[in-house]
Amino acid sequence: MHNVVLSPIDPEQLINSIAERVSKNILKDLEGITSTSEPSDQILTAEEAAKFLNLQLPTIYSKVSRGELPVMKNGKRLYFSKADLIAHLKGSRSKSFSEIEKDAESYFINKKKG
């Protein structure tokens, strides 16, 4: 059993103390999110790109040779822009069934008008 010590504390002081701690934690979390969510112009090696994309290194090399990944070459070394990799991933997103249905519906509506 834990020893609990109760002491009188002003309710407003308690509320302010809790609010201050919550605010600090929220700001701390927001700083972590913004620093990790901004890909900026971070340059990755092939090994780092493989880890980022959750692929094996030989898969990275084969995708580069087939032109499936945006890459920069400097001599024999490969470098990847994190922002370019994210844009590439977003661009290769498959449409959902409902999105395909909406596209088909708008196509037929426009086809009837024209």
89 within a domain of the structure (yes/no): yes
Number of domains in the chain: 2
Is the same domain home to 113 and 57?
Answer: yes
Per-residue pLDDT reduced to its tens digit, 11-45: 787 777 888 887 887 877 777 655 555 546 799 99
Tokens for 32, please give them.
């972590």
Considering the domain boundaries, does residue 5 fall inside one? no
Q: Residue 2 domain-assigned?
A: no
Does residue 62 sit within a domain? yes
Q: What is the pLDDT of residue 23?
A: 80
How far is 83 from 105, CA to CA, in rounded Å? 34
Q: Indicate whether 61 and 105 sit together in one domain.
A: yes
Residue 79 CB: number of other CB atoms within 10 A? Answer: 14
Mean pLDDT, residues 83-109 taken together: 85
CATH number for the domain spanning 106: value is: 1.10.10
Share of the chain above pLDDT 70, in %: 87
Do 42 and 35 form a contact (C-beta atoms < 8 A)?
no
Task: Write out the residue range of the structural domain in which residue 94 sits.
Answer: 40-114
Q: Who wins on pLDDT, 58 or 24?
A: 58
Model pTM above 0.85: no
Q: Residues 85, 49: contact at Cβ < 8 Å?
A: yes
